Structure 1
Amino acid sequence: MADLFDHTSTENQTQNAQRPLADRIRPRALDDVIGQQQVVGQGGPLRTMLDAGSLSSLIFWGPPGVGKTTLARLLADEVDLHFVQISAIFSGVADLKKVFESARLRAQNGRGTLLFVDEIHRFNKAQQDGFLPFMEDGTIILVGATTENPSFELNAALMSRAQVMVLERLSLAELELMLQRAEKELKKSLPLTGQARETLLEMADGDGRSLLNLAEQCFGWSDTKKVDVDELAKRLSKRAPKYDKSGEEHYNLISALHKSVRGSDPDAALYWFARMLKGGEDPRYLARRITRMAVEDIGLADPQAQHLCLQAWQTYERLGSPEGELALGQAVVYLALAPKSNASYVAYKAAMKAAEKTGSKPPPKHILNAPTAMMKDIGYGEGYDYDHDAEDGFSGQNYFPDDMARGIYYLPVDRGAEREMKKRIDYFAKLRAKRGKG
């Protein structure tokens, strides 16, 4: 019996050693979870829900490697539910029917089911709707995981029946705790210098799974001397930055770039510009968005900004990458430091709103051309003052429809080139009032 016991023990140890490191140090209780304290910590929504003894369906939204699957497994244990995991990438309607039928049978026998659906946003509308009746009658507690914004990717009906919990990328300190847990599990230290260890943490880019995969490679090295930063860079490939040109990260980064330009911070603007290029963004998309910034946020405070953006765009088209990207970067710096005004943008929107409201009101007759005798007879062109013949080259006549109050849409700011435009507007307003035509 002793020999059999020793053999079994050795076999279990071998099987354990063959498991991936990320699986070996997976938390066994919620208190062991590293990170996500805003959700699982005292006072957090998940902890509050469990303390109240009522778990509802959930959607975990966050980047890869932050613990979505781990949390789902732990929740099943906490509330004593049977755990079932599927992936929306590999599952179809037939698979879902089998899962729902098994859950129904399990419920009839008095056991509930926690169904964890990874990449739930990959299911189409009809498939997402298929979850609803089973969520409503309590056959399943759904826990979905997604890296995409659920507001855009999930049906409103599904969202109304589940609480969204946002999970955050892991900090360097939290990643370090994860490394220490791995070292304790393996009973040995990483063969890295202090700086190399910090570099490894940065290479993971907030992804715990990625960190443990990298660390597992390091633990396998047979070096007797600790590996430094340069040697680490040769042996390991840096994790590609998280960036999806058609997804949430795309919109987050272009928003950060636009707001940094609007906030007159050239350093932050260049950083986000570089992040998007590093992520594989099309420079032509950036050229178009940079030109849009010049129109919307700089406007007539610096009319040269728009021309400079178009020239940078043209330079990129002639030089291509990477040389042409420098021209776009220069445009970003110029826009960030340019005087800002959205006065013309606001005026445009106000004029569009007025045009929609006033419908088909005709121009006043005195500014209409009269190429025929009949048109002259009905008053076209009658009373028109030719501005070049007027005092100061300004007649001050009304150019709005006769029964419409004069609109004031363009209100230039007292910055940049618009300072002069503001003076001109004030000057013409005084002349109009002086001549009784205001």
Structure 2
Amino acid sequence: MADDSKALVQWSPSFVEELLPAAQKTALLYNLSYLCLANFPTLERIIRTRAVETQLLFGSSDATMLKCILTSENLVQSLFPMLEKAVEKNKPVLAVKYLEKARAWIKDIIKDVDRIVERYDLHNKDVATSTSDVIKEKLDTEKVMKEKDQELKNNEEALNQLKAELQKASTELAEVEKKINAKSQELQGFSRSITQTSKGLGIFAALVPFIGLIVKSIYDAAKDHEHSAKMKALEAELNNLIADKSVLKNKEWQFQLQIIDWQMKVSKASFERSSIPDPIHLSEVQNSLTKIQAILIQLKNFWESVAQMLDSLEKKTFVGEDLIEDLCELKDEFVQSIRAAKVAWGCFAAGCNKASAIFKLNTRDAYKFLEVSPSSLSKEEWAKEYDSVKKQLEELGPPKHVTSPETPAIEN
């Protein structure tokens, strides 16, 4: 069982992996915005206010992830053991009662995530308003400035060229992601068609929403070599697309780093001229917040699919009289599926735990820069702080797709 648990880790939903760079990037971009608006007290206060609001929002997000952890643990420690007993004692009515209780837990999570997603939407609009405030003050302050110096002009031209390159790379990445989604659906459709011909695999597929485990189970139980060959061919095509995606994500990330670097050069040039820089980093904060919001929406969609899965399991397995008889015949397979599901959900809880730790860290430590006003820094201190944040951004890379050599590289 220990080996199974280790192999299951990468089959939990992967969206949690995206949270850490998005949350860290948000804090670092706030820090840059704070530094770039030094000596403009009104704008400093705007940034400080929005950053504190983000901290509070991350605290609420942590509470939501905690609820996901507790629900996952309840599934492992309460629902699955109760289902196992109900199956062993041939009491489908009792199983239905337990499944209804689990659906109530999940319904509560979906409502909670809905509320937090709405708060992100409102907060992002506030940040957008702050960006407009900065732009307005910049325009009012710089009415007397008619020409930019050559260095600033060159930096902006280089920045625009890099943005065009980034757009091209992002478009290529989006196309590959479409192909991955299409191939994943093809693989899932084929694997589901196989599980429908086997009651044992069908029960396992109803309990475990992680496609990788279903594919592995099909391999373990495979008797039709033609099915296995097609499955492997689909996996090979999918893995090639995932490899292409990894290359493109790294390419996109390098362009993003170069753009941030040139944005810094533009900001430095503006800072030396004592003019208000464009709120470029504050705009990027909006993008990071939108990314986190999208991840939470994925979390909500995941729980909705689990709720539908449990509903289907109840109606098809525990309510229909003909299937109750099948349940008695397949008791051993059902119990084995429940035990495997415990391990899978334990891994998912661990992933949510990681997300909770990310929100806690970014609530507590990532915004300590707000304790010092950037206008109080000397030029040397300002440059040192600026370079430090720049280095941290450079070290912050895109999430890596990690696979086990024992299992196919399928993204959930």
Compare relative contact order (CA 8 Å, sep 6+) and give the higher one, 1 or 2: 2
> Which TM-score bucket, shorter chain as reference?
under 0.3
Q: Is the radius of gyration larger for structure 1 or structure 2?
A: 1
TM-score w.r.t. structure 2 length? Answer: 0.20
Give the number of the structure whose residues are more often strand, by fraction: 1
TM-score w.r.t. structure 1 length? Answer: 0.19
